[in-house]
């Protein structure tokens, strides 16, 4: 059931959404069946929204650092990280950290409303997401392997034809549930503009004590320049890890969007976001 879309873009349909080839029915099924516990943490995002950044923050705050960043958490829905069985995960002690790129109705562990797990969703302005995603998926050997140009990529993104489906649907699906006790909704932009306030908010949600010294240490370690260069955070063993650290800024979409594309996108954004109350900083 692997499909090839425009410009060689490989994907798989799962529950009606466009998903990467490595979301196999077995892994997705396992992710839905996971029995979570109150102290577990699942970080969720649409790709290119600051997932790696958030994952390192959570790993440091919970003291779960393993041999590499990627081996510090479970990415159950994906088949390419590390081999794991249901019993491996079940026998691990909490807090267990989980990563997911799923919309709300495809969440890890079934329905967050009936799950004791803590979910942290990070969202980013869609222009930067789309640009970062284009860079990421272009010519990369292990996922979609898109070989077309920017114009068409933007079209696919707004049509919901890139991995993880429609950005608006994804973000709004979690935004709707932002007030649930076990959900924290964050944005890339707030974390970027005031990292210390962001870290404090995350620590409070996780019930982790954050001394001034620890705050300093975590803030330093998760800065873009540190993450881009340190071996641990650079995801030792992950192919082409450099692709995860491009610019780390707000507003680099301006290097991609033409004036006309930007105007069309703004109109789409206004209509899709509607009265949701969610808005982003684009710079
Ligand atoms: P850019 O391509 O705009 O630079 P994800 O981890 O969800 O795939 O997101 C990747 C994006 O997060 C990339 O955006 C990457 O550079 C950025 N990023 C990674 N680490 C970061 C950090 N410590 N601070 C700010 N941005 C970071």
pLDDT at 174: 98
Q: Is the CB of 248 under 6 A from ligand 1?
A: yes
Asked if this assembly's ipTM is beyond 0.85, the reply is yes
CA distance 83 to 70: 12
pLDDT at 241: 66
User: Order of strands across the sheet with 41-45?
Assistant: 97-100, 41-45, 118-123, 183-187
Pocket test for ligand 1, best of 245, 250, 254, 257 (most atoms within 8 A of CB): 245
pLDDT at 163: 97
Position 239 pLDDT exceeds 70:
no
- Tens of pLDDT, residues 262-277: 999 999 999 999 999 9
pLDDT at 1: 85
Q: Is the pTM of this model over 0.90?
A: yes
Position 110 pLDDT exceeds 80:
yes
Tell me the sheet residues that pair with 183: 119
Position 68 pLDDT exceeds 90:
no
Q: Quick one: which atom of ligand 1 is closest to the CA of 227?
A: 23
CA distance 118 to 264: 37
pLDDT at 237: 62
Pocket test for ligand 1, best of 46, 49, 50, 70 (most atoms within 8 A of CB): 50
- Tens of pLDDT, residues 152-204: 999 999 999 999 999 999 999 999 999 999 999 999 999 999 999 999 999 99
Helix axes 126-137, 167-175, angle to 10 degrees: 130
Helix axes 195-205, 212-221, angle to 10 degrees: 120
pLDDT at 124: 98
Give the list of residues 6+ apart from residue 181 with CB closer than 8 angstroms, or none.
none
CA distance 198 to 187: 9
Tell me the sheet residues that pair with 186: 122
Residue 187 alpha carbon to ligand 1 centre in Å: 12
Q: Quick one: which atom of ligand 1 is closest to the CA of 135?
A: 2
Per annotation, catalytic residue among 101, 152, 163, 170: 101
Q: Is the CB of 138 under 6 A from ligand 1?
A: no
Q: Is the CB of 153 under 6 A from ligand 1?
A: no
Q: Is the CB of 128 under 6 A from ligand 1?
A: yes
Q: Atom 10 in ligand 1: which residue has the minimum CA distance? A: 48
């Amino acid at each position: 059931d692997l499909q090839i879309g425009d410009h060689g873009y490989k994907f798989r349909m799962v529950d009606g959404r466009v998903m990467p080839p490595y979301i196999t029915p077995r892994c997705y099924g396992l992710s839905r069946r996971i029995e979570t516990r109150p102290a577990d943490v699942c970080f969720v995002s649409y790709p290119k929204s600051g997932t790696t950044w958030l994952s390192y923050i959570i790993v440091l705050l919970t003291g779960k650092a393993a041999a590499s960043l990627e081996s510090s958490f479970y990415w159950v829905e994906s088949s390419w990280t590390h081999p794991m069985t249901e019993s491996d995960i079940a026998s691990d002690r909490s807090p267990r950290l989980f990563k997911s790129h799923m919309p709300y109705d495809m969440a890890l562990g079934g329905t967050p409303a009936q799950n004791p797990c803590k979910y942290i969703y990070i969202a980013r302005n869609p222009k930067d997401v789309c640009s970062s995603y284009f860079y990421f998926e272009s010519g990369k050997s292990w996922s979609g392997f898109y070989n077309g140009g920017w114009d068409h990529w933007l079209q696919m993104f707004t049509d919901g034809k890139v991995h993880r489906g429609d950005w608006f649907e994804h973000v709004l699906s979690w935004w709707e549930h932002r007030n649930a006790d076990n959900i924290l909704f964050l944005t890339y932009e707030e974390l970027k503009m005031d990292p210390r306030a962001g870290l404090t908010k995350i620590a409070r949600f996780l019930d982790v004590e954050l001394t001034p010294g620890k705050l300093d240490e975590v803030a330093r370690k998760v800065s873009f320049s540190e993450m881009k260069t340190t071996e641990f955070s650079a995801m030792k063993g992950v192919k082409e890890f450099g692709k995860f650290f491009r610019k780390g800024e707000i507003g680099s979409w301006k290097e991609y969007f033409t004036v006309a594309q930007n105007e069309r996108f703004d109109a789409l954004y206004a209509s899709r976001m509607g009265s949701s109350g969610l808005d982003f900083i684009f710079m």
